């Protein structure tokens, strides 16, 4: 373990990826007294954190060289691979004893590759994808699904407790990602059913607000229904979670299932609909924009 040189003896944390989710998550760490080094490809997205005291770095390798713990939450598996495994990246430049935590939703196989590349260099590594959306990130109530050694999980736990509430160690490297893909499979079916049900009600002339008030606490109730129906009713299709990222997650889940020798019919149906939504120009919208396929004004 590296010696800490942050305020109050806390380890210095590097945070790579300060978008919709990462900015709030990193902000909670600053508020808890951690010194942060930050990097994002779009530098402007780091500015609110820099104003709070974070130090802006020039790239992933520079973040790793000056940090004891590195957290990443980027867009796609190719971004994870580049950040960690490229020459001059995080694994190349991290100090021996550093802990690397990838909170991106990515592939289980890539999580294992990162772990296997980190260990010979004396680095810890966890895959720790999250669920809970932009609201969970803002309110520090994210669920965090962790793969890696028990030792690395316990070392990361104080940081996880600042960013989330439901934190579970699922098993060795890659198991956090497998758990997150299971989560996304469940959400895919839920979102499809929710949007179709709301669309049916609207076409039938039912007041959707009254219907929502009735159904939210019944058997049809879900996190998605509770959090997305008000946004749909208000015409708010801004991203709490991007359509393009959900398509990525469903593709990962589909491929992982196929690799295990079975197919998921409900997932494939939802994926087809979201690909259509993406192709219709809604890649940068929130996942609740699926409703638009059924109920364009």
- Sign of torsion, CA 217 219 221 223? positive
CB-CB contact of 142 with 193 (8 Å): no
Among the listed residues 180, 210, 244, 276, the single catalytic one is: 180
Q: In this structure, what DSSP letter does residue 9 have? A: G
Helix (H, G, I), strand (E, B) or coil at 223: helix
Considering only CA atoms, which of 170, 159, 138 is closest in space to residue 68? Answer: 159
The structure tokens listed for 200 are 């049916």
3-state helix, strand, coil in the chain (%, to 5): 55, 15, 30
265 flagged as catalytic: no
Question: Distance between the two ends of the chain, CA-based, in angstroms?
Answer: 57
Active-site residue list = 180
């Amino acid at each position: 373990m590296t010696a800490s040189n942050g305020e109050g003896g806390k380890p210095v944390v590097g945070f790579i990826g300060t978008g919709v989710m990462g900015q709030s998550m990193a902000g909670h760490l600053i508020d808890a007294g951690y010194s942060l080094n930050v990097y994002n490809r779009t530098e402007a997205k780091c500015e609110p954190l820099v104003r709070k005291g974070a130090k802006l770095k020039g790239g992933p390798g520079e973040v790793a060289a000056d940090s004891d713990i590195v957290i990443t939450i980027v867009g796609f598996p190719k971004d994870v691979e580049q950040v960690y495994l490229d020459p001059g990246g995080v694994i190349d430049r991290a100090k021996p004893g550093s802990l690397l935590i990838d909170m991106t939703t990515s592939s289980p196989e890539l999580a294992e590759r990162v772990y296997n590349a980190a260990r010979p260099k004396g680095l810890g590594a966890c895959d720790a994808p999250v669920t809970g959306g932009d609201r969970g990130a803002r309110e520090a109530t994210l669920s965090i699904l962790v793969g890696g050694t028990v030792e690395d999980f316990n070392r990361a736990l104080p940081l996880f407790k600042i960013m989330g509430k439901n934190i579970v160690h699922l098993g060795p490297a890659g198991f956090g990602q497998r758990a997150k893909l299971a989560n996304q499979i469940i959400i895919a079916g839920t979102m499809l059913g929710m949007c179709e049900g709301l669309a049916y009600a609207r076409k039938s002339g039912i007041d959707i607000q009254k219907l929502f008030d009735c159904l939210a606490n019944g058997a049809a109730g879900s996190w998605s229904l509770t959090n997305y129906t008000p946004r749909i009713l208000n015409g708010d299709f801004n991203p709490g979670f991007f359509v393009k990222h959900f398509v990525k997650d469903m593709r990962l889940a589909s491929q992982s299932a196929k690799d295990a020798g079975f197919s998921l019919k409900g997932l494939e149906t939802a994926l087809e609909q979201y690909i259509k939504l993406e192709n219709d120009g809604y890649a940068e919208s929130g996942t609740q924009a699926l409703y638009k396929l059924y109920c364009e004004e």
